[in-house]
Amino acid sequence: MITRIREIRKGKGMTLADVAAACQPPTTPQTIGRLETGARTVSVDWLNRIAAALDTLPGDLVKLQDRPDIPIAARLTAEGAQPLAARRNFAPPQLSGDLVGLEIEFPFGDYRPRDQIWLERLPPERFREATNRDILAPRPAGRFAFGRLVDMFGARLSLLPPQHGARQMVLVDVPWIAVARTLIRVL
């Protein structure tokens, strides 16, 4: 299996030791190096551990023939657009998990018309993962609520809508929520 571990690690400015220490449980930099070079077989467990350490999706660590990389032309710094010291690529978004979409038609907070938000559905036992993140939650009669999950009290969720001056919403006994994972913005 051809992986992108080294590319993504370097793109995030992390060393082998940084990734090794961020793995749960921690491992050695040598092990990460062997997994990067293919000297050691990368199992699904290793993909999951390294993806978590790199704060990316496991699918982003695997090179796929039908998903071409996007070369990074430059980086935008305080001094303006700067060339890269070494060639790097973006991995196109990888579809994984139980995803749903949200289409923005009206400007709300940081969101603009034509934005697409890709959200991952979570069951109630994983709701805490979405604290201080934007979520979509089903409401009775086929409606939905969207906002920042600011607090949880048992089965009660408190959301702050993105509109300026909006009042906090309280939802009870929500069967699932979907946490925002990817924003697609057409310029």
pLDDT of 178: 94
55 has pLDDT over 90: no
- Helix, strand, coil content of the chain in percent (nearest 5): 25, 30, 45
pLDDT of 31: 94
Quote the CA–CA distance of 3 and 26 in Å, as a whole number: 20
Quote the CA–CA distance of 123 and 35 in Å, as a whole number: 32
More confident residue, 8 or 28: 28
Quickly state the pLDDT bin for 95 (edges 50, 70, 90): low
Q: Is 178 exposed, middle or buried (0-12, 13-18, 19+ CB in 10 A)?
A: buried
- Protein fold of 5-66+77-90: 434 Repressor (Amino-terminal Domain) (1.10.260)
Q: Where in the chain is the domain with CATH 1.10.260.40?
A: 5-66+77-90
Residues 59/3, Cβ–Cβ less than 8 Å: no
* Residue 140 to residues 120, 137, 173, 180, Cα–Cα distance (Å): 20, 10, 11, 21
Q: Where in the chain is the domain with CATH 2.10.109.10?
A: 99-184
Distance of CA 18 to the CA centre of its chain: 20
pLDDT of 91: 64
CATH code for the part of the protein at 99-184: 2.10.109.10
